[in-house]
Amino acid sequence: MKKEQKSQPDDRSKKTPLTSVVVSGVGAFSMLVLLFPSIIPDIIPIIGALDEAVATGLLISCLAYFGVDIGAVFGRSKKKRDESDVIDAEFNEHE
């Protein structure tokens, strides 16, 4: 049985100038939250405790959008997926 290969979306089509500006804005805001943690006071019950964690996640995502690999700083490398790594198997159930 042959698998139909789905076409992969082109990464360049996702990186429009408007998207890049929005991602840059989100990254700049998250960097401001990390540099000045008093923007959102910790008195607010749940949001105040999680704002730095969310800002860190957003900043890492924004950097990944522009191709900066934070995992390489910590010794992790991107694992390139090769077609030889994929095992195509079929399962036939007999009664």
Least confident of 39-43, 81-85, 91-95: 81-85
Where are the domains positioned within the chain? Answer: 19-72
Q: Over the stretch 28-52, which tens digit does the pLDDT of each residue have?
A: 999 998 898 777 677 777 777 788 8
Mean pLDDT, residues 8-17:
64
Q: Which residues contact 88 (CB under 8 A, 6 or more apart)?
A: 3
This prediction has a pTM of 0.59
Task: Look at residue 73 and tell me whether its pLDDT is greater than 60.
Answer: yes
